């Protein structure tokens, strides 16, 4: 029963997917991070469904409509929780202040100029990358990115120091059954790599390996700039990783056809 409650909490916390209300108790949070990547599967499925709808009704749905809708689809399904963290983090990073002040800026509910600029740039770059998609297989591969971004984010939450020792991210990571969560997340990563290999062979595996550079930079940046992770930083990572992955996916289609 606690497993199902963890699933419900994951849906209600990290998405707008309807789920029964569950009490925020430690026993119900043990496996939430195991199900966090499943939200990525839903987003990937939504993106593929949107692509297929456009393919079936192409004459009625121009490609730019797919691009613009696909750009905001992850935000709509996730409820903007990760984008909120991305914007707060960009404000903090561009303040160029000391560590304590940056953490204060991330907690400030007001939106700064650099957050607005970063939002426009991120959306424009994401939409531009979607223009590179050419076939069903690429869109399926893109779904791996939505899955991996959340898997790696959860992995960081249970393996890295929390910068504040409080907050929602700290609550979920401290309540997690780390041994089980670590094992499940490792399994998800393995399955994602196998799916990438199945879709594009060694080229797909290399693409996933290249995307890990974002994860390593995330760990380095979080430790150096903030002294550890926060919920906002976790959101920043999901957004930046998915932006990098959609560019890798779009570019890989051209490389694959050339080879």
- Dump pLDDT digits (tens) for 134-185: 889 999 999 999 999 999 999 999 998 888 777 778 787 887 788 999 999 9
Q: Where are the domains of the chain?
A: 33-258
What's the rounded Cα separation, in Å, for the pair 103 and 178?
A: 26
- Nearest Cα to Cα of residue 238 among 151, 129, 173, 170: 151
With 80 as the cut, is the pLDDT of residue 75 above it?
Answer: yes
Task: For Cα atoms 249, 81, 145, give the angle at the middle one, nearest 5 degrees.
Answer: 15
Q: What does the mean pLDDT of the chain come to?
A: 89
With 80 as the cut, is the pLDDT of residue 58 above it?
Answer: no
Q: Kindly report the pTM of this predicted structure.
A: 0.94
Would you state the pLDDT for residue 226?
92
- Nearest Cα to Cα of residue 212 among 149, 140, 143: 149
């Amino acid at each position: 029963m606690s497993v199902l409650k963890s699933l419900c909490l994951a849906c209600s916390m990290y998405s707008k997917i309807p789920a029964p209300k569950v009490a925020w108790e430690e026993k119900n949070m043990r496996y939430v991070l195991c199900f966090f990547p499943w939200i990525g599967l839903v987003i990937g499925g939504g993106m593929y469904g949107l692509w297929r709808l456009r393919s079936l009704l192409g004459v009625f749905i121009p490609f730019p409509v797919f691009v613009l809708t696909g750009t905001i689809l992850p935000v709509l399904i996730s409820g903007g929780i990760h984008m909120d963290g991305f914007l707060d983090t960009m404000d903090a990073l561009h303040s160029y202040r000391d560590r304590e002040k940056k953490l204060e800026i991330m907690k400030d509910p007001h939106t700064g100029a650099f957050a607005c600029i970063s939002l426009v740039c991120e959306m424009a770059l994401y939409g531009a990358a979607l223009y590179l998609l050419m076939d069903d297989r690429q869109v399926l591969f893109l779904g791996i990115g939505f899955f991996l971004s959340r898997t790696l984010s959860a992995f960081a939450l249970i393996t890295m120091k929390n910068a504040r020792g409080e907050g929602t991210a700290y609550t979920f990571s401290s309540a997690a059954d780390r041994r089980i969560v670590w094992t499940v997340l490792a399994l998800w990563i393995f399955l994602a790599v196998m799916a990438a290999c199945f879709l594009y062979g060694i080229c797909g595996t290399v693409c996933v390996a290249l995307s890990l550079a974002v994860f390593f930079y995330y760990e380095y940046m979080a430790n150096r700039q903030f002294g550890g992770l926060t919920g906002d930083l976790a959101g920043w990572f999901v957004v930046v990783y998915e932006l990098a992955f959609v560019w890798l996916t779009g570019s890989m289609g051209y490389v694959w056809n050339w080879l």
